[in-house]
Structure 1
Amino acid sequence: MPGRAKISISLDAELVVEVMVLAGIGSPQDAVEAVVRDYIERGHRTEARVQLQDEPRREADLGQPPPQG
């Protein structure tokens, strides 16, 4: 991707080969990048799910008057 900063890291070769096999990707760089992108996307989906679950509770809390005491 042009214009994006890149970094270089060292990884255990066995880990990279396993990622390549599991992902069905022949390039070590592409395989590891695919795993990282999937991890990030999964995190965003989880955040969205949690937010959707919390919305009804927040709306219910907003509709109730604060406790008097």
Structure 2
Amino acid sequence: MLKDLKTAIAKNQTLSIQTKDGNILMGIPKKTGMSAVVKITNEEGVVYVPIADIQHVTRIIKFP
């Protein structure tokens, strides 16, 4: 999970994140100064998600 998250940040890829409470968030992850939190940016705004609350990560890779 952390490997996919780090790869998506490095390659500026869209993610789908499922949290432990069942919410699904989609957006582009960004690095934050806090190592335990991921910043997800999407069309609705910015959401900060604690890494401990993430259950599943899916990278969405666009093909040319």
TM-score over 0.5 for the pair: no
- TM-score (norm: length of structure 1): 0.18
TM-score normalised to the size of structure 2? Answer: 0.19
Please state which structure has a larger fraction of its residues in strand.
2
More contact order relative to length (CA 8 Å, sep ≥ 6): 2
Relative to its length, the structure with more helix (as a share) is 1
